[in-house]
């Protein structure tokens, strides 16, 4: 784990809904503060960082204070439109304090299917990063209906890693990593620290319910690993709310699950 973090120059960090949200359903500013400190530190170590952030819908609910139980797709999309602004406003204010400018990139599944669009995305990413600006990516929920969605940000982050040629994808979740069974209902569940083959892992563990705020659960994290490992990108699942988690993974003082890509 330590060497993978140390040797990775291009890192994508995906922030899950449960990580960006406080217990009361509002955006967790303390988390973003600590994330900004970690990103700054990684940049100072000569690494390049791209964020993929969930949380627009939850931020929408806490901003407008209603519609949380509406299942109507238009309301869901309206909540994302409201919350995306709140989310980026929080990122902007906090990262600016660390002298980091941010940029928003909203993507859809179609963007990854078109060669012209992927080229544009890649060029924009490289320009922003060359100029020291931090790209923050999310799915463009307002223009996507369920059938044409990427659907979860674990896979969006994996596609981004593939497109950018990232060395490492870090999925920050509400859990330390992947266990042999769901730890919330099994006290004796064991953390799996290293995975060589995500297909083998899938056969050997049991996957339980996802958390209440979460979207993809463990299945999409394994799907993301299958995508990126194929392209030589490693993937780590770790607990986002643990202070300095990425830096701690780098010096061996925290644990997570590493899907090691062959180099």
| Residue 135 found at the interface with ligand ADP (CB under 6 A) | no
Q: How far apart are CA 218 and CA 224, in angstroms?
A: 10
Alpha helices, H only, the chain: 2-7, 17-20, 29-44, 56-64, 73-97, 109-113, 115-130, 153-164, 198-204, 217-229, 245-251
For position 36 contacting ligand ADP by CB under 6 A, the verdict is: no
Considering the rule CB under 6 A, would residue 181 count as an interface residue with ligand ADP?
Answer: yes
Task: Tell me whether residue 111 or residue 154 sits nearer to ligand ADP (CB atom).
Answer: 154
Nearer Cβ to ligand ADP (204/263): 204
Binding map of ligand ADP across residues 204-243, x = CB under 6 A, - = no contact: -x-xx-xx--xxxxx-------------------------
Reduced to 3 states, what is the DSSP secondary structure of residue 235?
strand
Say what the alpha-carbon torsion angle 36, 37, 42, 43 is, to the nearest 10 degrees.
70
Provide the token pair at 120: 């544009």
Q: Is 151 in the site for ligand ADP (CB under 6 A)?
A: no
Instruction: From 14-22, 39-47, 59-67, 89-97, give the range in contact with ligand ADP by CB under 6 A.
Output: 14-22
Residues of this chain that interact with ligand ADP (CB under 6 A) are 16-19, 173-175, 178-179, 181-184, 205, 207-208, 210-211, 214-218
């Amino acid at each position: 784990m330590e060497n993978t973090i140390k040797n990775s120059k291009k890192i994508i960090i995906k922030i899950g809904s449960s990580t960006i949200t406080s217990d009361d359903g509002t955006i967790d500013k303390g988390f973003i503060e600590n994330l900004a400190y970690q990103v700054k530190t990684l940049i100072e170590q000569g690494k390049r960082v791209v964020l993929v952030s969930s949380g627009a819908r939850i931020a929408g609910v806490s901003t407008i204070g209603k519609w949380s139980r509406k299942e109507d797709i238009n309301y869901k999309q309206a909540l994302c439109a409201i919350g995306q602004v709140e989310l980026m406003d929080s990122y902007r204010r906090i990262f600016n304090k660390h002298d980091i400018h941010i940029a928003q990139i909203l993507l859809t599944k179609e963007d990854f299917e078109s060669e012209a669009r992927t080229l544009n995305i890649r060029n924009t990413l490289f320009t922003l990063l060359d100029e020291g600006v931090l790209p923050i990516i999310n799915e463009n929920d307002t223009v996507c209906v369920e059938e044409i969605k990427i659907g979860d940000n674990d896979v969006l982050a994996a596609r981004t890693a593939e497109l950018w040629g990232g060395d490492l994808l870090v999925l920050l979740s509400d859990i330390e990593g992947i266990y042999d069974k769901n730890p919330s209902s099994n006290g004796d569940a064991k953390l799996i620290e290293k995975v060589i083959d995500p297909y083998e892992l899938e056969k050997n563990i049991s996957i339980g319910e996802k958390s209440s705020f979460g979207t993809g659960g463990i299945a999409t994290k394994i799907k993301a690993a299958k995508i990126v490992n194929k392209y030589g990108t490693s993937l780590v699942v770790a607990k986002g709310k643990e202070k300095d988690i990425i830096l701690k993974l780098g010096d061996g003082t925290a644990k997570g699950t590493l899907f090691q890509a062959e180099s």
